[in-house]
């Protein structure tokens, strides 16, 4: 597996995977902006995109906008490694903290973020769309990079 910054060659594949994985996908424009600001990472294997992480930052706060791993590539540590790459980048840029939002029903992701030292700091009610209609809350999580 290869881990590196998202490149234009894999942009369409990342946007397509995001659309496949999410009911409310992050728009392509955010992928492009993150790619140009060097805040988007990917994992590939034999020329196939397996996962991505897209982020942004303002002043001393970074945000993870989306993370996705292909269904057939899960449980291989891809999301963890992408998260570590983003954290290292933002620590080097002297960011104080990283924020993210995750579906309240995504217990596996919440547990993984907690293992990576993220803590729940709030909730956004009715944030994510549900398949049959309605909405579910987002759990807001944060990680302190420096005090």
Q: Which residues are catalytic?
A: 101, 113
- Say how many C-beta atoms besides its own lie within 10 A of residue 8's C-beta: 9
d(C-alpha 139, C-alpha 45), whole Å? 31
d(C-alpha 55, C-alpha 63), whole Å? 5
C-alpha triplet 78, 84, 90: angle, nearest 5°: 140
DSSP 3-state of 129:
strand
C-alpha triplet 75, 10, 2: angle, nearest 5°: 45
């Amino acid at each position: 597996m290869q881990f590196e910054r998202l490149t234009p060659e894999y942009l369409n594949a990342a946007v397509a995977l995001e659309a496949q994985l999410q009911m409310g996908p992050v728009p392509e424009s955010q992928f492009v902006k993150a790619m140009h600001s060097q805040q988007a990472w990917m994992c590939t294997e034999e020329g196939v995109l397996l996962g991505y992480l897209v982020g942004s930052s303002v002043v001393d706060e970074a945000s993870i906008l989306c993370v996705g791993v292909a269904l057939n590539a899960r449980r291989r540590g891809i999301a963890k490694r992408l998260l570590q790459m983003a954290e290292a980048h933002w620590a080097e840029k002297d960011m104080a903290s990283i924020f993210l939002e995750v579906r309240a029903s995504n217990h596996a992701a919440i547990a993984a973020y907690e293992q990576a030292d993220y803590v729940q700091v709030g909730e956004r009610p009715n944030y994510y769309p549900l398949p049959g209609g309605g909405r579910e809350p987002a759990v807001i999580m944060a990680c302190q990079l420096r005090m």
